[in-house]
Amino acid sequence: MTLDVALTVQLELQSRLEQADRLRQKQVKRARYEADLAQRRYMKVDPDHRLVADTLEADWNYKLRALTEAEQEYARRREQDRQVLNNEQRRAILSLASDFPRLWRDPNTPDRERKRMVRLLLEDVTLIRDEEITAQVRFKGGATRTLRLPLPLNAWQMRTTSSEVVAEVDRLLNEHTYSEIASFLNERGLHSGEGLPFCARSIARIQRCYRLRSRYDRLRAKGLLTLPEMAAALGTSKDQVKIWRRHGLLRGHAYNDKNECLFEHGGDNPPGKAQADKPSRRRPAEALAIDSTQEVQCET
């Protein structure tokens, strides 16, 4: 069957070349007719009518030039057509009998040629869409084949974030904020379902769409306190809690990219006001470590 297809391709190419040649022949005949007509008009003019004679002579010359150009173009294109199906190209066409898959998968094969190959191979195709797509294929030679294909994905499904990325985001939310998670994923060369780098907004969207527990909820589940709760538990102000955190007397965990924090309880020995007023007496190492690189104050 594939040999018949190869020969059919060759015959089709030859037929198209012959059709184009006939069209060019008609153009040459048309140009020759117009040149002959212009000549007859010039020959019939009265010589005393010089203005009319000059006009007809100019028209005759123009038609002769058009005829010459048409004949030259016809000869040039005819020579090109002879070279289209040389021996090497004929062998390439006949190689379809054994090399069809390679030709089909070749990236240099244009889609229009693939469509032509399909038209030459197939008689008809019947598609049935249900839970899957059933394709009943009938070939030119009479052979038939039934294919079962999965349904194509919708546009939103094609842009869905992979389950591996979602699982990694879920794991990283235990210790990191949205922007930190985006940086980690981008460093690993991962991309969103749309093929774009991650950012804080895309991580937040993944967390909402897949109903992952937020970092805030995870920290609250561990018993961490908000700034007002921490201030009430220590019997001090919120500003004093911030100062103690900056001095390292309290430990806070950022739950968003605004550096808003939840706090670990001070335990049985919470810091007192004197510790914040004189940090060098109680915690000299921490007092020396405080510099301009410390985190900004946590906001509620």
Tell me the average pLDDT across 71-96: 70
Q: Is residue 219 part of a domain?
A: no
pLDDT at 105 > cutoff 70: yes
Mean predicted lDDT score pLDDT of the chain: 80
Residues forming beta bridges with residue 144, ordered by sequence position:
138
Model confidence band, residue 85 (pLDDT cutoffs 50, 70, 90): low
Residue 265 amino acid letter = H
Parent domain of 164: 157-212
Sign, CA torsion 282/284/289/291: positive
Residue 294 pLDDT class (50, 70, 90 cuts): very low
In a domain, 12, yes or no: yes
Please count the structural domains in the chain: 4
Categorize the per-residue pLDDT at 276 as very low, low, confident or very high, splitting at 50, 70 and 90: very low
- Whether pLDDT at 129 is above 50: yes
Render the burial of 14-29: b for 16+ CB within 10 Å, e for the rest. Answer: eeebeeeeeebeeebe
> Is 107 domain-assigned?
no
Shared domain for 266 and 228, answered yes or no, is: yes
Question: Is 123 in contact with 138 (CB distance < 8 Å)?
Answer: yes
**Domain-located, residue 29:** yes
Assess whether 19 and 78 both reside in one domain. Answer: yes
Residues 6+ apart with CB under 8 A from 106: none
Query: Above 70 in pLDDT, residue 171?
Result: yes
Q: Which has the minimum average pLDDT: 12-16, 34-38, 150-154, 257-261?
A: 12-16
- Is the domain of 143 the same as that of 163? no
On the question of pLDDT at 298 being above 50, the answer is no
Do residues 252 and 263 touch, judged by C-beta distance below 8 A? Answer: yes
Q: In this structure, is residue 108 part of a structural domain?
A: no
What pLDDT shows up at residue 142? 76
- By percentage, how much of the chain surpasses pLDDT 90? 26
Compute CA distances 9 → 61, 137, 203, 258, 272, whole Å.
44, 20, 54, 68, 92
Q: Model's pTM, two decimal places?
A: 0.44
Amino acid 87: pLDDT: 59
Question: Considering only 80-89, 212-221, 224-233, which range has the smallest mean pLDDT?
Answer: 80-89
**Do residue 8 and residue 69 come from a single domain?**
yes
Report how far residue 279's alpha carbon sits from residue 239's, in angstroms, rounded to the nearest whole number: 16
Output the pLDDT for position 299.
Answer: 44
- Is residue 99 pLDDT above 90, yes or no? no
Give me the pLDDT at residue 206, please: 92
> CA geometry: angle at 23 spanning 19 and 24, to 5°?
115
Percent of the chain with pLDDT over 70: 77
pLDDT tens per residue, range 17-36: 788 888 888 988 999 999 99
Whether residues 279 and 239 share a domain: the answer is: yes
Q: Is 129 exposed, middle or buried (0-12, 13-18, 19+ CB in 10 A)?
A: exposed
Q: Is residue 299 part of a domain?
A: no
Query: Above 70 in pLDDT, residue 11?
Result: no
Among residues 216, 218, 276, 211, which one has the least CA distance to residue 247?
A: 276
Query: Can you give the pLDDT at residue 89?
Result: 60
Q: What is the distance between the alpha carbons of residues 167 and 181, in angstroms, rounded to a whole number?
A: 12
